[in-house]
Structure 1
C-alpha cells in the first residue's frame, strides 16, 4: 500500500491547483480523478485570466502537465471508500488499489440538477445557461428567456437584463415568484409570462429556437437561462460523518478560507465547497488549501521530532 502526504480527489481547477502548490513544496501527492467535470458540456471557459475562451478540456490538460512537472501522480479511478482519521491517517480504496494519506483534499465538484423540461438537458451548456459571468457576453443582445423556477431566477433576470434588452421572464413555477420580485421585474421592464414551459425546440448542436408553453403558445428565443439546483459531490465527506450545508442554490461542504472542513484532516476546495465559484476562484481555493496543508504538515513533522527528542533526553 503506497503512502502519500496528500491524496486529492478530483482533477479540476481546484484539485490541480492544490496539487501544484503541494508538489512545488516537494510533497508526495496523488490526484484521483474520474474525468467527469461539471463544465464538460461547455465549449469555452471565460473569466480565466490569460486563457480567455480556452476549452475546459485544454485548460485541464495544461494544469495536468504543470502538476506532473512537480512530481504529482495521477490515477483515473472511482473511490469506493475512505476510512480513518487525522490521528491514524486515512486509507483510500478503489476497486483495484489502496493508498494511505496524511491529508485529503476533496475537489470533487458538484452536479447541476435541471427541471424536467423536454429539450432542456440537450441545450444545457450551449444555449441553456445559468451564469451571466460565464456565458452572458456570448448571448448579449439576444432574445433571452429566464425560466422562473427558484428564488435565484429573479436574480438571474436582473443580471442578464444588463446584457440584453430582450429579456422575458417565463414564470414556470408561479409559487416561486413573490410580489416583491414581480415588482422588481416590472421596474426592469421585463415582461412576465405566467405559464409553465412544456418543452424546448433544440437542434442537434444544442441551440434552442423556441419554447412551448402550457398556455398553448410558442415563444421564440435564442437563449434560455435556468437556475439549476446544485448538489455537491460529497459522498466521501458524508461517509466520514460530515454534514452538508444548504442555501437557495443547493448543497455544499462548509469550509474555511484555508479549505479546512468540520472533519480534521479533510479539506474541500472548488464547487464542492463554493457553489458559485468560477474557475479562477476554484483554482485560488485549491492553491490556498494546498499551501495551508503544507504548512500544517511541516509543523506536525517538527513537533513529532521535538517529542521524540524529549523522550530520548
Structure 2
C-alpha cells in the first residue's frame, strides 16, 4: 500500500517500550501510516527477566524489545531515535517537535511514555535494583517462594498496611518488614503477624549490600539480615509532561483513559502502558494494541464517504 510522503502521518506513537512497539505493530497491520519516536530508556532496563507474559515467561526484556523491533521492520514503519519535546495543534492536525530538530505532523497521537521509579535514597538500593531488590511479587516472586524475603515500605499502618504485608507474605512464611523506624501496629497486630511468619524490624534500614544469593540488609541498630529478595515500592513518576501540555486528564495512577479504547480526555490522543494502565508487560502490550486499533477505527470513521454514513 503506497502513501503520499508529504501527507501527515495517521498515527504518531511516542515511546519505544512494550506499549509503544505493540501500538506500532497494530498500526502497521491496520494499514495505517504510522511513525514511532522513542521516549527515553525503558523502565525494564535493569530487569533480568520478564515474567507473566504468555509464551515468553522468563525472557530478558531487552531481548523481547529487540525481537519486537526486528519483526516490526518488515512493515516499514519508521522508528525515530529522538524524543518529542513539544506537541502543538489539535485532533487531526498535531505537530510534534523532536530533539533532533525535526517536526512530525500526525492525525492521532498514542502516548506510551512510561514512568520512572524513584527509589528511596538508601545506599546500595539502586545498585541492586532488578536483582536482589525488586518491586513486584507478580513480576518476580515465584522464583523466590518459600525463601527468606523482606519488604521495605515506611509508614505501614492499619488495614491497608496489613494488606500490603500479607500481599507479600503469601510468598513466604519468613518475611521481614522494615522501614525508617518503629512500625505503627498494635501489640495484637504484631502478635498476629508473627503468627504467620512476619518479623517487624523497628530499626531503620540504612544500607543494602549485594551478596551472591540476594541481599544483606544493614540496620541502624547494628544488626543485619540476609534475604533472597528485598521488595520496595518507590515513587512512580509519570513521564506525562506531553500529556499535561496537551491538557489530558491525569489521575494518581496515570493518564486517564477510557478502558475499552485507551482514549484520553483530549480528542485524538490515546495513551497506553505504565503511564496510563498499570505495571505489567502484558497490560502494556494489550493497551498499546487497543490504542492503535481504536485510533485507526477513529480515522476510518472520519474518512467514511457520505454514502456510507448512517
1:90 maps to which of 94, 119, 139: 94
Q: Is the Cα contact below 8 Å between 1:231 and 1:252 reproduced in 2? A: no
Find the residue that maps to 1:14 and give its secondary structure: helix
The separation in 1 between residues aligned to 2:197 and 2:121, in whole angstroms, is 29
Deviation at 1:53, TM superposition (A): 1.2
Give the length in aligned residue pairs: 297
**Is the CA contact (8 Å cut-off) linking 1:6 and 1:103 kept in structure 2?**
yes
Partner-residue secondary structure (3-state), 1:39: helix
Task: Output the aligned Cα RMSD.
Answer: 2.4
Cα distance per residue 1:41-86 (max 9 Å; x no partner) = 0111111111111111111112112222223210011111111111
Which residue pairs with 1:198 in the alignment? 206
Structure 2 CA distance for partners of 1:183 and 1:70, relative to 1, 3 Å: farther
Could you tell me whether the CA contact under 8 Å between 2:155 and 2:179 is conserved in 1? no
Residues 211, 220 of structure 1: 8 Å contact kept: yes
> In 2 relative to 1, CA 187–2 (structure 1 residues): closer, same or farther, beyond 3 Å?
farther
CA distance in structure 2 between the partners assigned to 1:146 and 1:298 by the alignment: 49
**What is the TM-score when the length of structure 1 is the normalising length?**
0.87
Q: Report deviation, 1:157.
A: 3.0
Unaligned ranges ≥5, structure 1: none
Equivalent in the alignment of 1:60? 65
Q: Which runs of 5+ in 2 are unaligned?
A: 1-5
How far apart, CA to CA, are the structure 2 residues paired with 1:150 and 1:76?
41
Which residue of structure 2 lines up, in the alignment, with residue 227 of structure 1?
233
The TM-score normalised by the length of structure 2 is: 0.88
Runs of 4+ in 1 over 6 A off after TM superposition: none
| SS of 1:131 mapped into structure 2 | coil
Tell me the alpha carbon deviations over residues 195-244 of structure 1, each in whole angstroms, 9 at most, x when there is no partner.
211111225x8x65321112222222231111121111111001112342
Output the CA distance in 2 between the equivalents of 1:300 and 1:104. Answer: 15
For 2:47, the equivalent position in structure 1 comes to: 42
Aligned to 1:266: 269
1:70-123 CA distance string (max 9 Å, x none): 232100111111111115x10001132111010000011111111111111111
* Residues 1:292 and 2:297 aligned together: no
1:275 pairs with one of 275, 278, 294? 278
Q: Secondary structure at the match of 2:284?
A: helix
Query: Which stretch shifts more, 36-45 or 145-154?
Result: 145-154
2:251 maps to 1:245: yes
CA distance in 1, matches of 2:39, 2:15: 7
